[in-house]
Amino acid sequence: MTELPDGVFRFLISLATAGFAGVWLIHDLVFLARARRARRTGRRDSLLADQVFGYLVGIAIGVIGLVGTLRFNGVF
Amino acid sequence: MTAHRVSPWNPANAVTASRFVFVPLLWWAIAHGLHQWATLFIILCGLLDKLDGLVARIFDCRSAFGELFDAITDGLCYGSGLILVAAYGWAPALPVVCVIGLGLLNTALRFVYIRRAGRAVNYKSYAMERIVAYTGYLIGFATSGMEVTLFYWAFVPLMLVIVVHDARRMLIDPVPGAGPAVEPAERAAARSTTADEPVRAVRRSAPATAATAEARQ
């Protein structure tokens, strides 16, 4: 069964993981800032609280993804 | 949520169901040591997970059943994927056991939530959506051999925090837009005759939260 060379596969996987993690991190940072702004304007409901918690989890996942990609490529 | 009645036999649910095809394919690839093919199958499975929501919007066939079916499919596909990678030694077994245990606990809590709501409804959690997506990546990390230990062990405390957070909401917080305020009389009477215990009215959630429920759906 034909497969990609190891180096190419490694590069593609790193690119995909870092790309997803980076976009995820930026997306959730932006939306967290918006949610916090909404909180400051006095909106306090369970949906907003759930969104804030979800964005914090998303940021944590994004950071883990980026750290994992850097470690995979021997940066640290 | 749409006001019209949506048949469960719709394009979005067909896309969701098609994800089950990838479970035997993934098994075949892992059993034959084909890392790249296994990675490709789990990526395709993840893409279909994103596609079903898009199809539901395009064909206007969003439904509570569809959301629930999607959540169950996530659990079955990703759960079996995790078992496969752990069984073939591509991922550490202990975090996989923790993740599956927490996933089963979350599923049980969802059924309690459905009982509290009195109808088929998917419990929507922003954090759980993200952790389910991460589960898909976990299988991909195992099939591609990418920092498996780090990604698997980082997942466990994250999922534990989310399950505890969501358990509080599913078990304690009022259910948005729940059914009648008291248990139907005939059901309560049947319970009292079979269990020989006093009839207790089941208090449902406050209707004031119905607007929030609509926003969540």
Q: Do the Cβ atoms of A57 and B215 come within 8 Å? A: no
Distance in angstroms (rounded) separating the CA atoms of residues A50 and A68: 27
pLDDT at B24: 95
Q: Is B25 on the interface with A (CB under 8 A)?
A: no
Q: Do the Cβ atoms of A50 and B154 come within 8 Å? A: no
From first CA to last CA, the distance across chain A in angstroms is 34
Interface probe for B, chosen from A1, A15, A72, A73 (most Cβ of B below 10 Å), is A72
pLDDT at B143 over 50: yes
The 3 state secondary structure assigned to B71-124 is HHHHHHHHHHHHHHHHHCCCCCHHHHHHHHHHHHHHHHHHHHHHHHHCCCCCCC
pLDDT at A65 over 80: yes
**Residue A50 CB neighbours (<10 A):** 21
B72-95 pLDDT, tens per residue?
898 889 989 999 999 999 999 999
A3-20 pLDDT, tens per residue?
889 899 999 999 999 999
Tokens 């959630």 correspond to what residue? B205
From first CA to last CA, the distance across chain B in angstroms is 6
Q: What are the φ/ψ torsions at residue B180 (nearest 5 degrees)?
A: -65, 155
Distance in angstroms (rounded) separating the CA atoms of residues B116 and B179: 9
Range in B87-101, B126-140, B199-213 with the lowest mean pLDDT? B199-213
Closest CA to B29 of B143, B162, B163, B111: B143
> Between residues B24 and B2, which one has the greater pLDDT?
B24
Q: Do the Cβ atoms of A68 and B169 come within 8 Å? A: no
User: What ipTM was predicted for this assembly?
Assistant: 0.87
